[in-house]
Amino acid sequence: MDAIHLQDLAFYAFHGLHDEEARLGQRFIVDLTCRLDLTAPSRSDRYEETVCYATLTRTIEKVVTGSRFNLIERLAGAIADAVLEAEGRIREVTVRVHKPGAPLPIAAGRVSVEITRTRTAS
């Protein structure tokens, strides 16, 4: 299966368990891998036969900035669901959400969660 990758998409949002995360917000980084058949566009060079990267980015942005979640696990799942709903060509999506400002008891580091969802047959 072929893949389209969008990496290092940065958003400012208000997710987290702690009151200060909800009040102050922080940066979240999203990576997306979409698995689909790219045979047609790789041969035809026709935009209409692939997935619009800008549309994918707007779909992700709407979820990240338009909702509030306690867990980045839930955020990643919501992004995956929204991408599959928005684009019927995508068979499988992997979402990685990075939380560089996660409250950790050390001076550096970041947390990320990765979720993969596959389109179910309808």
Q: Just list the catalytic residues.
A: 99
Strand stretches in the chain, DSSP E: 2-13, 26-36, 92-99, 111-118
**Nearest to residue 22, comparing CAs of 66, 72, 64, 68?**
68
Residues 6+ apart with CB under 8 A from 67: 75, 78
The angle, 0 to 180 degrees and rounded to 10, between the axes of the packed helices 72-86 and 53-66 is 140
